[in-house]
C-alpha cells in the first residue's frame, strides 16, 4: 500500500514526463494523475501532452483555459503595460492559473498532494508553490529535490519507456502560451553565445522579413484591444492573428539577461510578436487620453503591478488594489492606433481617440485661440527658486 494519489502538472516535456515513473518508484505513490493546461501553446504540443499523459499516467486531464487566460491575465497586463525588465511577461501570467486548475482537479480527485517539474533555480516553482500552499496541498518537486541533470533524465526516460522529443544535441527548455514563447538552457546558457535561428518558432529573422512594410490598425475600448484592421475580434483570436502577422515581419524577438526572483541572473530569449505590438499601441493611446499626472503616477503603478505579476503574487492584496487603480484609468483609453511593422520594428504612425485631451486648436502654430502673452507671466515665475540659488552662489 503506497501513498495514494498525486496530481502532476504536466506539459509532456522531458521533466514532467519522467516525473510519472519517479513519483511511483522514488516517492511511493500508487496513482499518478497528469493534468495538461491549455493556455494557447501550439496545438500539437497539447495533443502530444494529452496522448503522452493517457499513455504513461493512470489518468489524464487536458483543461482548456485559453479564454480565461486572456480575460483574467493578458488583458489586465495590457492595461498595466505589463513588462519585466523590458519584456512583456508571459510565463509569469500563466503559471498561477495553471496552478489553480491543478488545485481544482486535486479537490475533485480527493488528492492532497500535487507535483510539478520545476527546478529549484527558476521562478516557476515559486509561482506554483504559492497557489498550492494557499490551497493547503503538499508539494512534491522532483527536479528540485533530486538535483537531476538533463543527461540523467534522458537516460531515465529511455529506461522507463517514456517517449521524449528533446534531442540530446538540442536541449532547450521552451515555455509557451499565446502571449509569449520563452527559450532557455543548453548552449544558450552562455550569455556570449549567439542564438541559432533554429530556436525561434514564432518569428522570422528580421533580416529575412519581407521588404514591404505591413500597415496595421488596432482598435481599443477601455484599454482592451477589440479590433484588428477594422475587424472586431475576441481577445484570443486577435492575439493569435497578430502573432502571425507581426511574427512574419520579424517583430517581437528579445535576447536578454534577466534577474530572477531568487537573484540568479539568467540568459533568456523570448518571442512575443502580438504583445510587442499591443503594448506599444496601448501605451501610445494612453499618452493621448491620460493627463500628465495620471501618466506619471500610473507608470509607477505599472512597474509595481508588473513586479508582483512577475513574482506570481496575484493574490497579494496590493496587486488587487493596483489592478483596481489601473482599471479606473482605462475608462477613457478607447480609440485606434495605426502602426507600421517592418523588419523587426514596430512604429506608431497615427492615433485618434474620442476622449483625447489633445487640442489641435490650442497647440497649433497657426491658431490664436490662446493669448501667448499669458505665458509671459507664467514664465516670470518659472524656475524661480533655482534662479535665487544661482544668484546666492555668485
Ligand atoms: N524567465 C521567464 C520567467 O520567469 C521564463 C521562464 C520559462 N520557464 C521555463 N520553464 N522554460 O517568466
Give residue 49's domain range. 5-171
Q: Is residue 265 part of a domain?
A: no
- Cβ of residue 123 lying under 6 Å from some atom of ligand 1: yes
Our answer on whether the CB atom of 184 is closer than 6 Å to any ligand 1 atom is yes
Ligand 1 centroid to Cα of residue 124, in Å, is 7
- Closest-lying ligand 1 atom to the alpha carbon of residue 184: 11
Looking at the chain, the whole-number percentage of residues with pLDDT higher than 90 is 90
Q: Which of 77, 83, 124, 302 is catalytic?
A: 124
Q: Give the predicted TM-score (pTM) of the model.
A: 0.95
pLDDT tens-digit profile of 78-136? 999 999 999 999 999 999 999 999 999 999 999 999 999 999 999 999 999 999 999 99
Asked, for residue 21, whether it belongs to a domain, the answer is yes
Q: What is the mean pLDDT of residues 149-156?
A: 87
Check pocket membership of 100 for ligand 1, CB cut-off 6 A. no
Number of domains in the chain: 1
255 is catalytic: no
Residues paired with 113 in a beta bridge: 6, 138
> Is-contact 44 20, C-beta < 8 A?
no
Distances (CA, A) of 104 to 54, 63, 64, 308: 19, 11, 13, 24
Is 359 known to be catalytic? no
Question: Is residue 92 in some structural domain?
Answer: yes
* 13, 37, 184: residue to mutate for ligand 1 pocket, most atoms within 8 A of CB: 184
Residue 346 lies in a domain: no
Residue 258 near ligand 1, beta carbon < 6 Å: yes
Angstrom distance (rounded) from CA 197 to CA 298: 38
Please, what is the average pLDDT of the chain? 96
In a domain, 312, yes or no: no
Ligand 1 centroid to residue 176 C-alpha, Å: 9
Q: Which CATH number covers residue 130?
A: 3.40.50.620
Look at residue 324 and give its three-state secondary structure.
helix
Say if residues 219 and 238 touch (Cβ distance below 8 Å): no
On whether residue 313 sits in a domain, the answer given is no
Residue 104 belongs to some domain of the structure: yes
Residue 148 located in a structural domain:
yes
Main-chain dihedrals φ then ψ at residue 38, nearest 5 degrees: -90, 105
Query: And the C-alpha cell for 95?
Result: 503559471
Ligand 1 atom at minimum distance from 261 CA: 4
Give the pLDDT confidence score for residue 360 in this predicted structure: 87
Q: What is the mean pLDDT of residues 294-319?
A: 97
Kindly tell me if the per-residue pLDDT of 378 is higher than 70: yes
- pLDDT tens figures, 177-231: 999 999 999 999 999 999 999 999 999 999 999 999 999 999 999 999 999 999 9
Q: Output the pLDDT for position 166.
A: 61
Amino acid at each position: 500500500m503506497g501513498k495514494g494519489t498525486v496530481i502532476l502538472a504536466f506539459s509532456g516535456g522531458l521533466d514532467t514526463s519522467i516525473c510519472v515513473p519517479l513519483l511511483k518508484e522514488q516517492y511511493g505513490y500508487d496513482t499518478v494523475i497528469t493534468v495538461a493546461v491549455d493556455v494557447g501553446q501550439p496545438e500539437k504540443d497539447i495533443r502530444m501532452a494529452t496522448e503522452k499523459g493517457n499513455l504513461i499516467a493512470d489518468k489524464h486531464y487536458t483543461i482548456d483555459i485559453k479564454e480565461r487566460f486572456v480575460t483574467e491575465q493578458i488583458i489586465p497586463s495590457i492595461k498595466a503595460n505589463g513588462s519585466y525588465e523590458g519584456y512583456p511577461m508571459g510565463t509569469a501570467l500563466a503559471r498561477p492559473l495553471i496552478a489553480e486548475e491543478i488545485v481544482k482537479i486535486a479537490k475533485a480527485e480527493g488528492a492532497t498532494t500535487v507535483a510539478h517539474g520545476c527546478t529549484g533555480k527558476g521562478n516557476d516553482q515559486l509561482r506554483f508553490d504559492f497557489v498550492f500552499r494557499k490551497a493547503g496541498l503538499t508539494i512534491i518537486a522532483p527536479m528540485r529535490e533530486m538535483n537531476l541533470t538533463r543527461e540523467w533524465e534522458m537516460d531515465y526516460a529511455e529506461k522507463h519507456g517514456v517517449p521524449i522529443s528533446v534531442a540530446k544535441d538540442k536541449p532547450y527548455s521552451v515555455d509557451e502560451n499565446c502571449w509569449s514563447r520563452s527559450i532557455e538552457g543548453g548552449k544558450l546558457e552562455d550569455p556570449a553565445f549567439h542564438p541559432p535561428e533554429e530556436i525561434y518558432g514564432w518569428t522570422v529573422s528580421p533580416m529575412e522579413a519581407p521588404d514591404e512594410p505591413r500597415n496595421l490598425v488596432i482598435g481599443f475600448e477601455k484599454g482592451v484591444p477589440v479590433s484588428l484592421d477594422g475587424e472586431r475580434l475576441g481577445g484570443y483570436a486577435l492575439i493569435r492573428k497578430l502573432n502571425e502577422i507581426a511574427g512574419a515581419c520579424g517583430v517581437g524577438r528579445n535576447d536578454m539577461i534577466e534577474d530572477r526572483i531568487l537573484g540568479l541572473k539568467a540568459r533568456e530569449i523570448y518571442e512575443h510578436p502580438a504583445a510587442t505590438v499591443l503594448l506599444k499601441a496601448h501605451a501610445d493611446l494612453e499618452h493621448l487620453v491620460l493627463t500628465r499626472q495620471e501618466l506619471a503616477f500610473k507608470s509607477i503603478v505599472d512597474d509595481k503591478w508588473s513586479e508582483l505579476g512577475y513574482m506570481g503574487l496575484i493574490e497579494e492584496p496590493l496587486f488587487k488594489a493596483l489592478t483596481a487603480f489601473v482599471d479606473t484609468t482605462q475608462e477613457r483609453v478607447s480609440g485606434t492606433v495605426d502602426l507600421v511593422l517592418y523588419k523587426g520594428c514596430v512604429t506608431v504612425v497615427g492615433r485618434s481617440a474620442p476622449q483625447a485631451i489633445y487640442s489641435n486648436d490650442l497647440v497649433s502654430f497657426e491658431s490664436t485661440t490662446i493669448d501667448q502673452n499669458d505665458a509671459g507671466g507664467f514664465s516670470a515665475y518659472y524656475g524661480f527658486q533655482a534662479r535665487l540659488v544661482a544668484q546666492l552662489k555668485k
